[in-house]
């Protein structure tokens, strides 16, 4: 009997040993956590690549955003943040999940998996999976394959939309559903991205100059006497005009910076920035008119203010588009701004009344 009690007592002591129980529990926890991480392969934080592609393999989980600049993105796993690609193609496989947005700027997007929303700017877009939110496609053709579903709206601007029996639960909005053939050829996939960027910059620059000419022609027509006088006197006392233009430019820049860094001045920033843009626009307008008037005098022709503005604008555009000509146009702007400042100051100067006895003889 004593032997049996002794054996039971030894077993009780072994079962209650806290060191052995704690060690066993620690081993089990380590084994379980290792198995979970090996199965999920969770990677914390964002993944950012520059001049290099990002590849997320199947079974891999990114607990953050995926960003690629001049590279590309291939997603076969899960991304718990957004996928952002700048100059490069984006591929979302049918096994992939992107919990937030897919954003692509200059690149093609092929999405066969599940995403929250897709925004593609300049490039083609193919959807073969599920999009829980909206789809926005700007400049480029888009395709919705059979079996694909967009639970939000699908907006296509400047591009053809081909719906191959896919479902759009929201609205389908198409604005200008065609692109010129040469634009289609320039989209990513056929040419390297850098020439595309250069061509687009030139195109937007030309459009900006055309818009500036239209607005300038309206202003010149409304205030023809004033602008005709300024185009003739801008070359008078050029050193003074240049100095005043540079001073006015820096005053506007300092005022904008001061307003931006002070809480009280923030409301003024909404007034200072448009004012600065308008003054620089008027300075360029005066210079363009002066160039056009000079050319008209050289050819002994009378083109009128709008014609002189057109000639001056064409010469200005050619100078501005050339790399060596940009410093010239930047400097010419100061002359025009100086002419505006000189006009304003001369108007505010008091008129000198003749003193008795100093009248010139009749």
Q: Is residue 302 part of a domain?
A: yes
Q: Is residue 252 part of a domain?
A: yes
Count of structural domains within the chain: 2
**Rounded Cα gap, residues 65 and 99, in angstroms:** 10
pLDDT in tens, 231-248: 888 888 888 899 999 999
Using CA atoms, how far apart are residues 134 and 152, in angstroms rounded to an integer?
A: 4
Whether 245 and 153 share a structural domain: no
Q: Do 163 and 134 fall within a single domain?
A: yes
pLDDT of residue 281: 92
Identify the band that residue 260 occupies on the pLDDT scale cut at 50, 70 and 90: confident
Q: Do 241 and 171 share a structural domain?
A: no
| pLDDT tens digits, 20-56 | 545 544 544 544 444 344 444 566 678 888 888 899 9
Q: How far is CA 339 from CA 157, 246, 279, 289, 298, in A?
A: 43, 11, 11, 12, 23
Residue pLDDT, tens place only, 323-339: 677 788 888 889 999 99
- pLDDT of 176 > 80? The answer is no
| Percent of the chain residues topping a pLDDT of 70 | 75
Give the pLDDT band of residue 184 (cuts 50, 70, 90): low
Neighbours of 3 (CB within 10 A): 7
pLDDT at 185: 57
Q: What is the pLDDT of residues 262-303, one digit of tens each?
A: 766 677 778 888 888 999 999 999 999 999 988 888 888 888
Same domain, 161 and 233: no
C-alpha distances (whole Å) from 273 to each of 252, 253, 280, 304 are 8, 9, 11, 32
Residue 355 has pLDDT above 80, yes or no: no
Task: Out of 180, 215, 238, pick the residue that ends a domain.
Answer: 180
- Do 156 and 274 fall into the same domain? no
Q: What is the pLDDT of residue 3?
A: 45
Q: Is residue 186 part of a domain?
A: no
The values of phi and psi at residue 91, to 5°, are -120, 120
> What are the start-end ranges of the E strands in 113-231?
114-115, 117-121, 125-127, 130-131, 135-138, 142-144, 149-150, 154-157, 161-163, 167-168, 172-175
Mean of all residue pLDDT scores within the chain: 79
Q: What is the pLDDT of residues 95-144, one digit of tens each?
A: 999 999 999 988 889 999 999 999 998 888 999 999 999 999 888 888 89
Domain boundaries, position 293: 193-348
- 160-186 burial: b if 16+ Cβ within 10 Å, else e: bbebeebebeeeeebeeeebeeebeeb
Average pLDDT over residues 61-82: 90
Both tokens assigned to 66: 């995926």
For 274-304, give one letter per residue: b (16+ CB within 10 A) or e.
Answer: eebeebbebbbbbbbbbbbbebbeeeeeeee
The pLDDT of residue 36 is 40
């Amino acid at each position: 009997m004593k032997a049996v009690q002794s054996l039971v007592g030894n077993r009780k002591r072994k079962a209650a040993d806290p060191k052995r129980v704690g060690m066993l529990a620690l081993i089990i926890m380590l084994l379980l956590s290792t198995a979970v991480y090996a199965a999920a392969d969770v990677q914390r934080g964002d993944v950012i690549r520059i001049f290099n592609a990002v590849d997320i393999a199947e079974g891999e989980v990114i607990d953050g955003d995926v960003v690629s600049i001049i590279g590309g993105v291939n997603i076969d796993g899960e991304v718990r943040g957004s996928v952002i690609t700048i100059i490069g193609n984006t591929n979302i496989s049918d096994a992939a999940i992107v919990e937030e947005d897919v954003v692509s700027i200059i690149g093609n997007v092929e999405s066969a998996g599940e995403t929250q929303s897709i925004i593609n700017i300049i490039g083609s877009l193919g959807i073969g999976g599920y999009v829980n939110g909206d789809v926005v496609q700007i400049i480029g053709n888009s395709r919705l394959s059979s079996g694909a579903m967009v639970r939000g709206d699908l907006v296509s601007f400047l591009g053809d939309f081909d719906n191959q029996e896919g479902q759009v639960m929201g609205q389908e909005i198409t604005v200008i559903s065609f692109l010129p053939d040469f634009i289609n050829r320039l989209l990513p996939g056929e040419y390297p991205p850098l020439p595309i960027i250069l061509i687009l910059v030139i195109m937007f620059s030309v459009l900006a100059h055309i818009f500036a000419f239209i607005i300038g022609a309206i202003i010149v027509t409304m205030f023809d006497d004033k602008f005709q006088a300024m185009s003739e006197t801008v070359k008078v006392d050029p050193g003074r005009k240049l100095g005043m233009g540079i001073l006015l430019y820096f005053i506007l820049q300092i005022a904008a910076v001061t307003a931006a860094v002070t809480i009280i001045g923030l409301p003024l920033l909404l007034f200072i920035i448009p004012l600065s843009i308008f003054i620089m626009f008027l300075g360029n307008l005066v210079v363009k008119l002066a160039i056009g008037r000079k050319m008209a005098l050289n050819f002994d022709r009378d083109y009128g203010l709008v014609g002189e503005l057109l000639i001056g604008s064409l010469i200005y555009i050619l100078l501005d588009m050339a790399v060596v000509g940009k410093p010239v146009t930047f400097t010419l702007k100061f002359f025009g701004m100086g002419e505006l400042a000189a006009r304003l100051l001369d108007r505010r100067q008091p008129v000198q009344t003749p003193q008795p006895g100093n009248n010139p003889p009749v």
